[in-house]
């Protein structure tokens, strides 16, 4: 299997930025070629005069559906490494309505407004300025909209399971629906938009394209299932098979309820007290582990966890999994739980959270303490600093030691963790 840049943690690397820039330029180019550099054409779909927007979006959906199916069938893509965002019904319904109204009123969406700006369209610039101010307003009012933003949450929602249809059959139905929508859209353009009827040769090409699409959709039902595990020549899988298999619903519920998490301050107290039968397993890369790690921790990178769990991890005692954040540690927790290990937990917010809550001076926290609590918190912080940082190798990028003030995490602790 080939790993995606996201699963290989290369999305923020040099190659990731180069590919992102190249894809962005091509995306803008094809949007302009499709006529999306014109606000009149973008809004034409809402008046049934120009359905180009709907046709292009449908084409993208169909190409993605068929492309992913063929790539997985040939073993070139592992769907387990493709991130599927969770569903937030309230936020997505309201957000979709706001975006639709903004598109009708302003004539642009954020992506097409950038295309219009590149074409020196003044209304596109006005739209983008409004979008920036809208984002600022959203941030300022977030406490008010947070219940809507986070409410009605459904994880792992898929259309095939919701409709109780096999994925292959659903793909054929969606492709058939796309052909139908294309046909109706063309008819609406001629009737309402008063566009001339296409030449017979164009109608024949459209009919041939529709038949070819349906044939490809039918062909996907005859493709073999994607291989489970294994490698192709010269290709190393980014994740062990245990991380690609779907976790049991009970384990997901247990993990989502955070009954298996341990807070940074609680872990710090246990380590300071020298709690027996407690093992911290750092699943970050070896280089990050060498720069900074918790006392007594052992390093088992996540890609080696499945094969080395038996030899490196004890059969008894409590295990705390530590990553840069929570998502990767949650993946490792699922793998160990499938192996029958029950006394395993995840450090909430990972090393970043530990540094923020345990090794940041109280005066630099978001809500600095006041009154009599100040001295006690300062004393506890100093004790943690002496325990975790005295003699600890905290290397700066140029090899010099990190500043005395630990308010900023060391280089091995990134600002945010990338969810797999």
Extents of the domains making up the chain: 14-220, 241-389
SS3 161: helix
Please name which of 150, 335, 354 lies closest in space to residue 268, comparing C-alpha atoms: 354
Q: How far is CA 376 from CA 205, 379, 383, in A?
A: 78, 5, 11
- Distance, in Å, from the CA atom of 323 to the CA atom of 418, rounded to the nearest integer, reads 11
- Distance, in Å, from the CA atom of 221 to the CA atom of 171, rounded to the nearest integer, reads 9
Q: Which architecture does CATH list for 241-389?
A: 3-Layer(aba) Sandwich (3.40)
The tokens for 325 are 């954040």
Cα 253 versus chain centre, distance: 20
pLDDT score recorded for residue 372: 61
- Lookup result for tokens 């070819």: 212
In this structure, what DSSP letter does residue 401 have? B
SS3 278: strand
pLDDT score recorded for residue 373: 64
Q: How far is CA 68 from CA 52, 63, 252, 331, 336, in A?
A: 24, 8, 26, 23, 30
For residue 120, give the H/E element and its range: none
* Other beta carbons within 10 Å of 84: 10
- Distance, in Å, from the CA atom of 92 to the CA atom of 98, rounded to the nearest integer, reads 10
- Distance, in Å, from the CA atom of 62 to the CA atom of 58, rounded to the nearest integer, reads 6
Report whether 226 contacts 72 (CB < 8 A). Answer: yes
b/e for 211-250, b at 16 or more Cβ within 10 A? eebeebbeebeeeeebeeeeeeeeeebbbbebbbeebeee
Q: How far is CA 38 from CA 45, 165, 385, in A?
A: 12, 39, 59
Q: What is the pLDDT along the chain (420 residues), one digit of tens a residue?
A: 455 666 666 666 778 788 888 988 888 888 888 778 888 888 888 888 888 888 888 888 888 888 888 888 777 777 766 777 788 888 999 999 998 898 888 888 888 888 888 888 898 999 999 999 999 998 999 889 888 888 888 777 778 778 888 877 888 888 888 889 988 988 888 888 888 887 888 878 888 888 888 888 888 777 765 544 433 333 333 333 333 344 454 555 555 555 678 899 999 999 998 888 899 999 998 888 888 889 889 998 888 887 787 788 887 788 999 998 877 788 888 788 777 777 888 998 888 888 888 888 776 555 555 556 677 788 888 888 888 887 544 443 333 334 344 444 444 444 444 433
pLDDT score recorded for residue 247: 46
- Distance, in Å, from the CA atom of 34 to the CA atom of 43, rounded to the nearest integer, reads 14
Q: How far is CA 388 from CA 46, 130, 187, 266, 358, in A?
A: 61, 47, 71, 14, 9
| Residue 69 buriedness (CB in 10 A; 0-12 / 13-18 / 19+) | buried
Largest CA-CA distance found in the chain, in angstroms, rounded: 86
Cα Rg of the chain (Å, integer): 27
The tokens for 246 are 């779907």
Report whether 28 contacts 114 (CB < 8 A). Answer: yes
The tokens for 87 are 């569903």
Please name which of 316, 279, 286 lies closest in space to residue 301, comparing C-alpha atoms: 286
Report whether 238 contacts 349 (CB < 8 A). Answer: no
pLDDT score recorded for residue 132: 92
pTM: 0.50
């Amino acid at each position: 299997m080939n790993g995606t840049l996201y699963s290989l943690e290369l999305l923020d690397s040099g190659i990731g930025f180069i590919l992102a820039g190249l894809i962005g330029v091509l995306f803008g180019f094809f949007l302009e070629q499709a006529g999306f550099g014109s606000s009149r054409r973008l809004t034409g779909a809402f008046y049934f005069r120009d359905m180009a927007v709907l046709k292009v979006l449908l084409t993208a959906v169909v190409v993605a559906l068929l492309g992913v199916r063929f790539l997985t069938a040939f073993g070139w893509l592992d769907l387990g490494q493709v991130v599927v965002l969770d569903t937030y019904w309230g936020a997505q319904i309201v957000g979709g309505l706001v975006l639709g109204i903004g598109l009708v009123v302003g004539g642009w969406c954020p992506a097409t407004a950038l295309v219009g700006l590149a074409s020196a369209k003044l209304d596109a610039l006005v739209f983008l300025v409004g979008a920036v101010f809208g984002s600022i307003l959203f941030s300022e009012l977030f406490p008010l909209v947070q219940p809507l933003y986070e409410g009605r949450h459904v994880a792992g929602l898929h259309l095939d399971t919701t409709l109780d249809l096999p994925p292959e059959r659903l793909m054929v139905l969606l492709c058939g629906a796309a052909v139908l929508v294309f046909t109706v859209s063309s008819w609406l353009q001629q009737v309402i938009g008063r566009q001339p009827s296409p030449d017979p040769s164009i109608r024949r090409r459209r009919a041939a394209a529709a038949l070819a699409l349906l044939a490809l959709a039918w062909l996907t039902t005859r493709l073999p299932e994607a291989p489970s595990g294994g490698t192709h020549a010269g290709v190393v899988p980014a994740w062990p098979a245990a991380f690609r298999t779907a976790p049991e619903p009970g384990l997901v519920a247990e993990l989502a309820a955070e009954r298996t998490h341990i807070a940074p301050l609680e872990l710090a107290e246990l380590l300071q007290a020298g709690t027996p039968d407690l093992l911290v397993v750092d699943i970050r890369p070896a280089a990050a582990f060498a720069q900074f790690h918790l006392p007594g921790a052992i390093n088992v990178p996540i890609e080696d966890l499945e094969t080395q769990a038996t030899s490196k991890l004890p059969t008894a005692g409590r295990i705390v999994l530590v990553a840069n954040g929570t998502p990767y540690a949650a993946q490792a927790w699922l793998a160990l739980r499938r192996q029958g290990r029950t006394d395993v937990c995840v450090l909430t917010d990972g090393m970043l959270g530990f540094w923020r809550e345990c090794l940041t001076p109280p005066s630099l926290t978001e809500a600095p303490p006041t009154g009599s609590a100040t001295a006690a918190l300062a004393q506890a912080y100093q004790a943690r600093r002496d325990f975790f940082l005295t003699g600890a190798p905290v290397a700066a990028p140029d090899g010099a030691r990190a500043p005395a003030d630990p308010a900023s995490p060391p280089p091995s602790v990134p600002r945010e963790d990338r969810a797999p």
